[in-house]
Structure 1
Amino acid sequence: MAVCVARAAGRPYLTESEAHRALALIAAAGLPLTHPVFTAELLQVGLADAVKHRDGMQRLPLTDGIGSCVFVNDVTAAELARALEYVHAYTDRTDGPGQ
């Protein structure tokens, strides 16, 4: 969820403040934002696997404002890596890993 929020912030779907609000809500619900095993490489493998099971489409949900989403099919491995970096930067600025 956090990576999809971060990816939406990198597109015209969410403002920086909306993305931070969404990440804060995820953390406040007790859900982790990051984990050491969660890497850009793992994201790429997971997305490739999802495409296999979705008729060749990514169908990746991105938050389109608070409370709605759009499904996209054009996310690149580089975008996923940047989104993960965004989440890590956010957690570094807040209460620490995953918060």
Structure 2
Amino acid sequence: IGIDPLSLHFLAAMLPAIALGSIGVAGVGGGGTFAALIVLSTLNFPVALVGIFIAIEPIVDMARTALNVNGSMMSGVLANRILNNHTADDMPAVIDRP
């Protein structure tokens, strides 16, 4: 394609496109494909390259989801240990129900 990925012009065009694309598709299932479409069309790359992303995106998406779930569980465990919170079974009931 003949593009220097380290040129200042290329980086100045790429960074805003990636930032806006990542904000717009965060939390959307298969959002990586849409982000790739945004970035590729902004940088005048052939949009046909998205076919490659469509082929590998489900595999990468499963790994990304597993990593996000693992990170969320770990942050909950660490926050609980740091704050010394107890479970509801450890504390007496505050409200008595009839």
Task: Verify same fold: TM over 0.5.
Answer: no
Structure with greater proportional helix content = 2
Q: Which has the higher contact order (CA 8 A, sep 6+)?
A: 1
Larger Rg, first or second structure (1 or 2) = 2
Q: TM-score w.r.t. structure 1 length?
A: 0.30
- The structure that is strand-richer by fraction is 1
TM-score normalized by the length of structure 2: 0.31
